[in-house]
Structure 1
């Protein structure tokens, strides 16, 4: 198997896991696999005896259901899912539960991404803990965790640890390790000796904490080496408030969020809340991670519930996306971030993108637009007529006490550097 340094969210090899969900039974857990090419894709989860090989069509997405037994519980388990394709593909995952769904974009295996920070939220109570899941690709993977929590000791194994303490683990190929805590674990720092993936979130969180009702939050964490310094964000379409968290990886991080100026140290975050319907620029002297949170419907008196979305930076953008609305919810939306002078070339499903709901702002001398669209249930193709023009997309959906949200792409700056590894994963390819 060959894998390269991460340059965007499309790739040929992926590894991930699903942390504990709010309900023990699920409507479904599905992978949505999209590619410009006909692709042969192999999916295996040896720990639950799951193996499947499919051939996807070109220029569309294909759904594959994963058994619900893949969901992990606290501690060490063999619940990793490995995906390999003969062509470049993009994958997002939807965990569908009535009243508590969310989705995540998968990131390809990266050989030069050993550092992560956890993004989560304060749990509704101890039954819906903050959590992060580490997924190992290879044997003898050494993990170092520097815990950060808003309150209380964290129990890992049979040991109790305080915020700021370090925990060391050794993991084997295709293993997962789930850490949970009754308080927010955001800012926990993870490093590894070999390639891993980190999926984090909350089993059930109110957003904000005093608003009902709680929901499952999940995202795959972008490695620190691919964070960026410039973002633009606005309220999710149909919602009342723009709620962001900006997370820092180093001391002395200075961040401007619209007219707000803050300073952060390693592992610290700032929660920005604004009810004005404006495009908000975010600029920092060191790279940061930006997460957007949909709020509980009882808080903003709008249709919807909590979800957690990684926001693409203005330098983290692709030129074409294939996706399909991944739940039976009736209300689905897209937010597109693009340079204003390039917005005329945007298309969706063969038609020019409507700019009737467009917000504008500037970063330095460049004007950016956020264009928000309602979309129909089904498959969609979002692209620019100029294939050299990149733009960011997040997708999300709502119903009464229902929600999901995730980015469609997280392209990073720089080009691929050849890195070759051979990995022997037990499988039953057909």
Structure 2
């Protein structure tokens, strides 16, 4: 889905199968492309003026072969290539399995995925992507050249863009959804271990809401990932 913020915006969409289309969008126009048979991962979108791009699936099983239950709708706003970075910490989702997809912006790019017991490195090409095996442990992704990382949770699936370490910020404002009142709400905070005691949530220490602590593996073992249950 491409959302235009300006009039007379020229948009070119190049698909992984080698085909492409061009559209002219005006202010607040939305163009949606869908495929029932083909994965559109790797689609390149270029525009003459700033646009927003949202990717997703209306009915998704993670993993692709369902074991039980219903499919889930997943979607996420994509970041532009100019925001790609090199170093990422992927938080665990309590005991739930997840996988990541890594997108390389340049050719001859060595990308390594690491947890406490293994490290797997591969050389990626420009606009190439790879997918990790399902995992429950914290991961570290390092990339010689700029890349982006998206995390996908299994069962009651969702997808989320992982910010790079260089994109970490001090203050955050977020909204807790209240549509499904019987669900628990959690946040994962990646923080320098030396600063973890100074963390505040709505002005007070959230230590009583701590659900999980994960130590990051080298070379970023000066970081910790804290998971909190949000109750208010």
Aligned pair partner of 2:125 in 265, 268, 271: 265
Total equivalences in the alignment: 221
- Within 2, Cα distance between the matches of 1:283 and 1:145? 29
CA contact 2:100–2:132 (8 Å) conserved in 1: yes
Once the two structures are TM-superposed, the CA of residue 356 in structure 1 deviates from its matched residue by 6.4
Which residue in the other structure is 2:51 paired with?
196
Whether the 8 Å CA contact 1:135–1:175 is kept in 2: the answer is yes
Displaced runs of 4 or more, over 6 A: none
Deviation at 1:274, TM superposition (A): 4.4
Provide the rounded CA distance (Å) in 2 between the counterparts of 1:186 and 1:169: 20
Describe the shift of the 1:363–1:314 C-alpha distance in structure 2 as closer, same or farther (beyond 3 A).
farther
Matched, 1:284 2:139: no
Counterparts of 1:123-272 in structure 2, within 5 Å, are 133-148=1-16, 163-182=17-36, 183-211=38-66, 212=68, 213-239=70-96, 241-258=97-114, 259-272=119-132
Provide TM-score, normalisation by structure 1. Answer: 0.49
Q: CA RMSD in A?
A: 1.8
Structure 1 position 332 matched with structure 2 position 161: no
1:309 aligned counterpart, secondary structure: strand
Q: Give SS of 1:180's match.
A: coil
Deviation at 1:363, TM superposition (A): 4.8
Give the superposition deviation at 1:263.
Answer: 2.0
Aligned counterpart, 1:415: none
Distance between the aligned counterparts of 1:181 and 1:199, measured in 2?
Answer: 15
Is residue 186–residue 227 contact of structure 2 (8 Å, CA) maintained in 1?
Answer: yes
CA contact (8 A) 2:189 2:227 kept: yes
Unaligned ranges ≥5, structure 2: none
> Which of 154, 163, 166 is 1:315 aligned to?
166
CA distance in 1, matches of 2:203, 2:31: 44
- State the secondary structure of the residue aligned to 1:237: coil
Structure 2 length normalisation: TM-score? 0.88
Secondary structure class of the residue paired with 2:148:
strand
Q: Are residues 170 and 368 of structure 1, via their aligned partners in 2, closer, same or farther at CA, if it must alter by over 3 Å? A: same
Shift of 1:328: 2.2
* CA displacement at 1:361 relative to structure 2: 2.0
1:237–1:333 CA contact under 8 A, matched in 2: no
Higher strand share: 1
Shift of 1:362: 4.1
Deviation at 1:290, TM superposition (A): 0.8
Return the offset for 1:358.
Answer: 1.4
Q: Is the 8 A contact 2:101 2:151 kept in 1?
A: yes
Shift of 1:338: 1.2
Equivalent residues of 2:103, 2:128 under 8 A apart: yes
Write the distance in 2 (CA, Å) between the matches of 1:248 and 1:309.
17
Residue 350 of structure 1: SS of its match in structure 2? coil
Q: Quote the Cα distance in structure 2 between the aligned partners of 1:371 and 1:196.
A: 34
